[in-house]
Amino acid sequence: MNSVIDFAHPPALRRRRREQRFHGWLCAAALLGVLLAMAPGLRIHLHQGRLAAANALLLQEAQALASATRQAAELQTRISALQQRLAQQQQLARRRTQAGLLLRGVARASLPLVHLERLTLQKDHAELRGRAGSMAAIQELQGALAAAGLEGAHLLDLRTQASAAAEGYSWSLSIPLLAAGAASPP
Please tell me what DSSP assigns to residue 119.
E
Compute the distance between CA of residue 85 and CA of residue 101 in angstroms, rounded to an integer.
Answer: 24
DSSP string, 139-184: HHHHHHHHHTT-TT-EEEEEEEEE-SS-EEEEEEEEEEPPPTTSPP
* Residue spans of alpha helices (H) in the chain: 11-108, 135-147
Q: What is the mean pLDDT of the chain?
A: 82
pTM, full prediction: 0.44
pLDDT digits (tens, 9 = 90+) for 12-61: 888 898 899 999 999 999 999 999 999 998 999 999 999 999 999 999 99
pLDDT of residue 124: 79
What is the three-class DSSP state of 47? helix
